[in-house]
Amino acid sequence: MLKLHFAPNSRAGRIVWLLEELGLDYELNRMDFHPKDLKSEEHRARHPLGRVPVLEDGDVSIFESGAIVEYVLARHTDGALKPAVDAPEFPEYLQWFHYCEGMVMPPINTIVVHTLILPEDRRDATVLGQAQRLLGKAVAPVNEALEGREYLVGDFTAADIMLGHSLFMANRLGQVSEEQTNLLEYVDRIQNRPAFQTAIST
């Protein structure tokens, strides 16, 4: 059985969401998002930086949420949640799948650091403002791409799990404007998926 090492309010939520969407059996090792768990010797043996998610599948141990998603789709499904490689949608699927970590999550990480993690006397308003503006620029093309679409690439795919989770976080941080109606409707749509609700409440 698959075993997922997980902490709440992290990218590990993507993997719970994925496993729930696919209906796969899995065991969850729920840890606190705190150094006492994540930086323990036991967990550093799974991930050298003490991060989550980490997935164990028999003798296989793999980290990085995008890599885990691709691994699960390749090893545990028969073409589910992604277009066929010769489908017209496949290049766009790859684009949005990787856009989250390349463009959206870096400024989100900075925003979280300078609003939630650092003590107030170490927060930098200039750095925070730069990250907020960068995030606004990063999500704008997604808002445009969602015009007339329910999901990023036609049907619901793993790209929605990767980027959709990031957009959910951006919205929760108040970084999606009221004018970006396509994004707001999209976030609402994914939030209403039962598998997403399970992932967020885990």
Amino acid 33: pLDDT = 87
Task: Provide the CATH number for the domain around residue 63.
Answer: 3.40.30.10
Q: Give the residue-averaged pLDDT of 8-18.
A: 96
Q: How many domains does the chain have?
A: 2
Determine the structural domain holding residue 60 and report its residue range: 2-76
Residue 84 covered by a domain: no
Residue 85 covered by a domain: no
Domain termination residue (choose one: 48, 76, 104): 76
Q: What is the DSSP string of 60-87?
A: EEEESHHHHHHHHHHHH-SSTTS--TTS
pTM more than 0.85:
yes
pLDDT at 111 exceeding the cut of 90: yes
Q: Does 94 lie in the same domain as 175? A: yes
Q: Does 97 lie in the same domain as 166? A: yes
Q: Does 97 lie in the same domain as 69? A: no
Q: E strands of 20-168, at which residues? A: 26-30, 54-57, 60-63
